[in-house]
């Protein structure tokens, strides 16, 4: 996902993600409705409903693996900020030059780690795979329920809501230092006297 989305307020990000997901769902629903007429409806209805749990499980695994990366990046980012702030506090209390140098090296290492983590993001291939898997599940839901359009619309809408919710949760936390739900530099600002005076 691009940077503009990650920098949106969470409610606006939710509107964009839910809107896109529901638009995708409506397109799949309309496509199935166009194709599933007459004899083709009977043929399409023959698709096994047993595919739904399999596709749902695969989608769930995609979400879990993607979310695990995001939570790990967030934890590493928070730890890097804390380590950097802790190391920068130490020079003020150091009595020996050796301790001062060691503390500055720790601060620089923590800063490098913070910069590395700030570049971490869910790559586009994972996002495409996540949405492709969701589209496959939506298509099978539509095909299995092609003889009952109301039931199909409800089932597809419920699954689409779950997809959008999962994507919103991951996207809101994807970039550890960007967006409304990000790690703030309070620990670093506390050790900077000029910044303390301003706030």
What is the C-alpha to C-alpha distance for residues 171 and 16, in angstroms, rounded to an integer? 11
Label residue 131 by pLDDT band (50, 70, 90). Answer: very high
Question: What does the pLDDT read at residue 14?
Answer: 92
Give the tens place of pLDDT for each residue, 143-193: 998 888 899 999 999 999 999 999 998 888 787 766 676 666 666 666 666
Residue 187 is encoded by which pair of tokens?
């620990």
Structure tokens at 27: 């397109």
Q: At what angle do helices 51-93 and 97-118 cross, to 10 degrees?
A: 160
Residues 91-118 have a mean pLDDT of 68
What is the band of 90 on the pLDDT scale with cuts at 50, 70, 90?
low
The CA distance from 176 to 2, in Å, is 14
Average pLDDT over residues 41-57: 84
Average pLDDT across the chain, whole number:
80
State how many domains the chain has. Answer: 1
Total Cβ atoms within 10 A of residue 193: 8
Per-residue pLDDT at 157 = 94
Q: Does residue 26 register a pLDDT over 80?
A: yes
Q: Look at the block and give the residue holding tokens 């020079």.
A: 91
Show the domain range for 102: 3-198
pTM greater than the 0.85 cutoff: no
- Spatial CB neighbours of 92, under 8 Å, sequence gap ≥ 6: 191
Please give the structure tokens belonging to residue 11. 């409610």
pLDDT score, position 1: 56
Q: Which one is predicted more confidently, 105 or 69?
A: 69
Supply the pLDDT for residue 118.
67
DSSP-derived 3-state class of residue 146: coil
Look at residues 41, 39, 35, 61 and name the one whose alpha carbon lies nearest to residue 137: 61
Of 157 and 74, more confident: 157
DSSP structure string for 130-195:
HHHHHHHHHHHHHHHTTT-HHHHHHHHHHHHHHHHHHHHHHHHHHSTTSSSS----HHHHHT-HHH
């Amino acid at each position: 996902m691009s940077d503009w989305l990650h920098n949106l307020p969470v409610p606006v990000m939710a509107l964009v993600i839910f809107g896109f997901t529901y638009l995708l769902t409506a397109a799949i629903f309309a496509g199935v409705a166009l194709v599933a007429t007459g004899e083709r409806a009977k043929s399409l209805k023959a698709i096994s409903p047993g595919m739904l749990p399999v596709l749902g499980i695969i989608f769930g695994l995609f979400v879990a693996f993607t979310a695990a990366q995001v939570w790990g990046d967030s934890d590493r980012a928070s730890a890097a900020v804390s380590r950097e702030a802790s190391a920068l506090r130490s020079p003020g209390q150091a009595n020996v030059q050796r301790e001062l140098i060691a503390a500055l090296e720790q601060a620089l290492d923590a800063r490098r780690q913070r910069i590395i983590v700030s570049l971490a993001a869910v790559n586009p291939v994972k996002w495409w795979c996540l949405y492709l898997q969701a589209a496959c599940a939506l298509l099978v839901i539509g095909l299995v329920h092609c003889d009952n359009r109301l039931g199909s619309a409800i089932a597809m809408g419920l699954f689409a809501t779950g997809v959008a919710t999962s994507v919103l949760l991951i996207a809101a936390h994807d970039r550890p230092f960007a967006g409304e739900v990000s790690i703030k530099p309070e620990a670093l600002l506390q050790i900077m006297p000029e910044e303390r005076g301003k706030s």
